[in-house]
Amino acid sequence: MTRAERLFKHLPDSIDCAVITSDVNRRYFTGMKSSDGTVVIFRDKSYLIIDFRYIEKARATVDSAEVIEQKRLYQQISELLEKHGAGVVAVESQTMTVSQLSRITRALSGVEINSTDILSNAVNTLRSYKDSGELECIIKAQRIAEKALEELLPQIRPGVTERELMLELNHRMFQLGAEELSFDTIILSGANTSMPHGVPSDKKVESGDFVLMDFGAVWNGYHSDMTRTVCVGEPTEEMRSVYNKVLEAQNTAIEAAHGGITGQALDRVARDIISEAGYGGNFGHSLGHGVGLEIHERPNASPNYTQPLNTGAVVTVEPGIYLPGKFGVRIEDFVILTENGCENLTKFEKNLITL
C-alpha cells in the first residue's frame, strides 16, 4: 500500500482530495526534496505540480505521483478536481499560513475547503510510523553522528573552545556523508552545561569540566539525535552521582518503553527517579520526542502527552539534571517502539567517559 493510499485510511469518507504544500510532507509523499511544489492526492491517483526549476529532477525520480509542470497552479488544481469529481478538499491546517488558506479558498471557490486539523493529524499519524526504508535512513544518520563523535573525543582537552569543538564535530559529520545537520550543534563545557540548549561560545574547556554534546546528522532527509556528557579529567563525587542518576533514569525509561504506553507515563518513569533523588526541579524539559523527517515530530514523551505512543515510532529518551552555576548532565538515545518493548538505535557508549 502506498503512502497516499494509507493516508485515506486515516481520513473520513467525506474527503475527496488532500492538498499537500509543506516542504517536509511533500518530500514524505514524493521522496523528493524541493522548496516548492504541490501534491494533490485523490483516492485513486496522486499528482505533483512543480515548477520549471525542479521539473527535470521530478520526472526522473518521482514515481509515486504523476508529475505536472506548474503553469497556473490553481487552475491546474481545479482541472484535476473536476477530472476526479472531487467536492471536498482537505488542506494542511497546521502548516498552511493564513494567506495561503485565503488564496486557495478564493481560487477553488467551487469546492468545499476543509481547513480543520483532519489532514494534518492524518499525516502526522502516518509519519509517526517508520517503515523499513525510513529506519535504514535514520540508522545511517545515527552511525554518521556516532562515528563523528568517536573521532572528536581525542580533540576534547583543556584549552580548546566550545566553538572549536562544535565546528570540528560538524566538519566530521559532513565528511562522513551527512547531507545536513539535524539542528544547530550544542557543545557546552563546565558551568555552561547547566543550560539545556545553550549556545557554544569561546569558553575554553578546563580540567574537571563536564562537556555536553547534543547533535545529529541527516541522511536522505532523515534525522538522528543524540546527547553525550563526558568529563575532562576526574569528576567530583557530586558530578559522578548526578551522572549515574541520569543514566539510571534513562535506562529505566528505555526498559519501560513500548508501543501503547502513553507519552505521559513514559516521561514519569524517568522523572520519578530524578525527583526521588531530590532533583525534580532540575529536570525542566520533556523526556523525549519523535524523530524522522523532522528533528521534532510526533509522538512526544512529555508530561502533557496523554496519547499512546504507537508501535513503529522513533522516540528520544533524554533525561537530564541541570544545576545552575555548577554543571548539567543529559544522556540521549533514541529507540523504535515495538509491541513488547523497544530497540535502542543508539550504540555509542554511555557509561561516564573520562578523557
Phi, psi (rounded to 5 degrees) for 330: -135, 140
Percentage helix, strand, coil for the chain under 3-state DSSP, each rounded to 5: 40, 25, 40
**Cβ–Cβ under 8 Å, residues 231 and 352:** yes
DSSP 204: B
Q: Please write the tens of the pLDDT for every residue from 174-222.
A: 999 999 999 999 999 999 999 999 999 999 999 999 999 999 999 999 9
C-alpha distance across the termini of the chain, in Å: 50
Residue 262 contacts residue 301 (beta carbons within 8 Å): no
262 strand-pairing partners: 308
Per-residue pLDDT of the chain (355 residues; tens, 9 = 90+): 899 999 999 999 999 999 999 999 999 999 999 999 999 999 999 999 999 999 999 999 999 999 999 999 999 999 999 999 999 999 999 999 999 999 999 999 889 999 999 999 999 999 999 999 999 999 999 999 999 999 999 999 999 999 999 999 999 999 999 999 999 999 999 999 999 999 999 999 999 999 999 999 999 999 999 999 999 999 999 999 999 999 999 999 999 999 999 999 999 999 999 999 999 999 999 999 999 999 999 999 999 999 999 999 999 999 999 999 999 999 999 999 999 999 999 999 999 999 9
Whose CA is closest to 193, among 172, 177, 213?
A: 213
Residue 317 near residue 332, CB atoms below 8 Å: yes
| Domain locations in the chain as residue ranges | 3-128, 132-344
Integer Cα distance of 1 and 34 in angstroms: 24
39 near 101, Cβ under 8 Å?
no
Bridge partners for 67 per DSSP:
48
Q: Which has the closest alpha carbon to 120: 244, 264, 15?
A: 15
The architecture that CATH gives domain 132-344 is Alpha-Beta Complex (3.90)
DSSP string, 256-313: H--TT-BHHHHHHHHHHHHHHTT-GGG--S-SEEE-SSSSSEEEEESTT--SBPPTT-
> Which of these, 98, 99, 78, lies nearest to 89 by C-alpha position?
78
CATH superfamily of 3-128: Creatinase/prolidase N-terminal domain (3.40.350.10)
Neighbours of 292 (CB within 10 A): 23
Q: What is the pLDDT of residue 1?
A: 85
C-alpha–C-alpha distance, residues 280 and 237, integer Å = 20
Query: For residue 217, what are the β-bridge partners?
Result: 181
